[in-house]
A and B are shown apart, each in its own frame.
Chain A
Amino acid sequence: MLTDNDLQAIGLTVRLAGLTTLILFLIGTPIAWWLARSRSAWKGAIGAIVALPLVLPPSVLGFYLLLAMGPQGPVGQFTQALGIGTLPFTFWGLVIASVFYSLPFMVQPLQGAFEAIGDRPLEVAATLRASPVDCFFSVVLPLAKPGFITAGILSFAHTVGEFGVVLMIGGNIPGLTRVASVQIYDHVEAMEYGDAHRLAAVMLVFSFLVLLALYTRRPATDQAI
């Protein structure tokens, strides 16, 4: 069946996608909340920047991240000053790149979920003595739960399917940056079509199951009444 290298690549992919999704929950939620609630003139610009990875070729995103995190880039200088070297061709470099790459897949479903809640439940919570933070955890989170599930699934799956950014930032280091999509590329390059088939089938089945889960999930009926 799958070779040890394949399994290693799959394990690395899952770890990368899991960590990325976790980080995205933490930074995507406030961004989505701000985009959903703010009336600032900057809203359009910030929304466009968040959506950029949807349309940008992954190689372009990877290129800029590589420059930023490289020895001459601002991020690279900073990380070197901290004494942790530079991030390209490391696992954490991949994580940071994936966070940018999958940001819209976290922010947009969350923003939609927050907007669908509207003002009223927040006002009700305020009249029932809930502070804004309390209200977020006791009302917004439960009401936006379907949005959080969708955003988490999409971010995870999208990170699993990442290829171009990984090649630009991470290269192809076994056990460190060689994720499943790159492993398939290697198999094909080496004419190992059998191995490529098996791993590709795993990815296909995984992607299908994710989308199946998304599309058959009970639609959210919890609207404020």
Chain B
Amino acid sequence: MSTLDIRCRLDWPGFTLDVDLHLPGHGITALFGHSGSGKTSLLRCIAGLEKPTHGRLVVKGQIWQDDQTWRPPHQRPMGYVFQEASLFPHLDVLGNLRYGQKRSASASRVALEQAIELLGIGHLLQRRPATLSGGERQRVGIARALAVGPEILLMDEPLAALDLQRKQEILPYLERLHDELDIPLLYVSHAPDEVARLADHLVVLDGGRVMADGPLGATLARLDLPIRLGEDVGVVLDATVGEVDGEWHLARVDFAGGSLWTRDRGLPAGQAVRVRVLARDVSLAVDAPAASSIQNVLHGVIESLADDDHPGLLLVRIQVGASLLIARLTRRSATQLDCHTGQAVYVQVKSVALME
């Protein structure tokens, strides 16, 4: 069910944003693109922080903008998280949280308490923003947006201003949002790992236009995107933990089409997980591999081949059961193996990233 209808045209000198999107009304939708792709401008148009030249915006049946209507930002029932937390320096943490909550008819005491609990900031309420770490500030920023009781949460690269350690600190909270919120979330990002970890639905933007729009797994598995992910080309599989091998500290994850062994992260059997398999970690063999350090070998059929950015490389998409994997091969080895569509191959997966 598509509950976000976004048609938006923005004309600036040297840049035009022109999109027409119908997005799901639940889960996390990532707006992905390089800088200058228009992803932040699109989010600002949805929030009403930019006024599109033409636009029609319908969110859950409410018209936020069309030819006759223009709701200013403060009358749109949304939460917005900026790249820098942008906390009000003249208010303490609780004052920041209550600023929006006091002004919102849809906010409740419960929404505020939930937001505090969800982001784990209960111990910071009396602190001044200047005394918080970057990660803590951003958690307060997210809680502040949630405390208004929004019908949709818009996040503009909430991790981009943070270093790797702070990112790791916040990502688990974002995953909790994903699991526990029942409102849709639009997440602007240029980081493929964040997108792979968090998103359910992926919109790829380039030069102000939509290049791809669809469920995460299917969109990432496309070989025809003009925007390349470089080292980050790969697929994301939905899987469950099937078995934990305590002796070797390994866990088996089962996906539609096979199983993969990966490092045990302490997740119990039965836990639903996401598995990210990068194309550079996948290799192909025509004959059953003999003794090899690579333990994950799957059976598959080559589904298609495509050029990669570098003339010496190829991307090969392999059907493995109901799932698709992408392998990055050199053109020479593909020729030597005589890779062609419909060919049966052994797929060796060197490493996988497990995401809750």
Show the binding face of A for B, using Cβ within 8 Å.
Answer: 120-121, 123-132, 134, 138-139, 142-143, 221-225
Cα separation A106 to B338 with both chains bound (whole Å): 80
Taking a contact as CB atoms closer than 8 A, the residue among B79, B89, B148 that contacts A225 in the complex is B89
- Across-interface contacts of A139 in B (CB, < 8 A): 88, 90
Supposing A120-B82, A124-B86, A126-B73 touch, asked if A225 and B100 sit within 8 A by C-beta, the answer is no
If A120-B86, A126-B74, A127-B80 are given as contacts, then 19 extra A-B residue pairs at C-beta distance below 8 Å, sorted by A number, are A123-B49, A124-B80, A125-B74, A127-B145, A128-B74, A129-B74, A129-B104, A131-B74, A142-B90, A143-B88, A143-B90, A221-B130, A222-B89, A223-B89, A224-B87, A224-B88, A225-B84, A225-B129, A225-B137
CB-based contact A143/B89 at 8 Å: yes
- Across-interface contacts of A129 in B (CB, < 8 A): 74-75, 100, 103-104, 148
Residue of B nearest to A141 (CB): B90
Closest 5 CB pairs of A and B: A128-B100, A127-B80, A129-B103, A126-B73, A142-B90
CB-based contact B99/A138 at 8 Å: yes
Number of interface residues of B (CB under 8 A): 28
CB-based contact A128/B103 at 8 Å: yes
Does B302 touch A at the CB level, under 8 Å?
A: no
Does B316 touch A at the CB level, under 8 Å?
A: no
Produce 1/0 per residue, B30-60, CB < 8 A to A: 0000000000000000011100000000000
Does B78 touch A at the CB level, under 8 Å?
A: yes
Show the binding face of B for A, using Cβ within 8 Å.
Answer: 47-49, 72-75, 78-80, 82, 84-90, 99-100, 103-104, 129-130, 137, 144-145, 148
CB-based contact B90/A225 at 8 Å: no
Cα separation A167 to B248 with both chains bound (whole Å): 96
Cα separation A143 to B91 with both chains bound (whole Å): 10
CB-based contact A130/B103 at 8 Å: yes
Taking a contact as CB atoms closer than 8 A, the residue among B49, B84, B90, B104 that contacts A126 in the complex is B49
Taking a contact as CB atoms closer than 8 A, the residue among A128, A131, A138 that contacts B148 in the complex is A128
The interface residues of chain A, by DSSP majority, are classed as helix
Cα separation A223 to B48 with both chains bound (whole Å): 25
- Across-interface contacts of A124 in B (CB, < 8 A): 80, 82, 86, 88
- Across-interface contacts of B100 in A (CB, < 8 A): 127-130
Q: How far is the CB of A121 from chain B (nearest CB, A)?
A: 7
- Across-interface contacts of B145 in A (CB, < 8 A): 127-128
CB-based contact A224/B86 at 8 Å: yes
Cα separation A93 to B100 with both chains bound (whole Å): 46
Residue of A nearest to B134 (CB): A225
CB-based contact B99/A128 at 8 Å: yes
Cα separation A223 to B129 with both chains bound (whole Å): 10
13 contacts between A and B (CB under 8 A): A120-B86, A121-B88, A124-B88, A127-B49, A127-B79, A127-B145, A128-B104, A134-B103, A223-B89, A224-B86, A224-B88, A224-B89, A225-B89
CB-based contact B72/A126 at 8 Å: yes
Q: How far is the CB of B88 from chain A (nearest CB, A)?
A: 6
- Across-interface contacts of A225 in B (CB, < 8 A): 84-87, 89, 129-130, 137
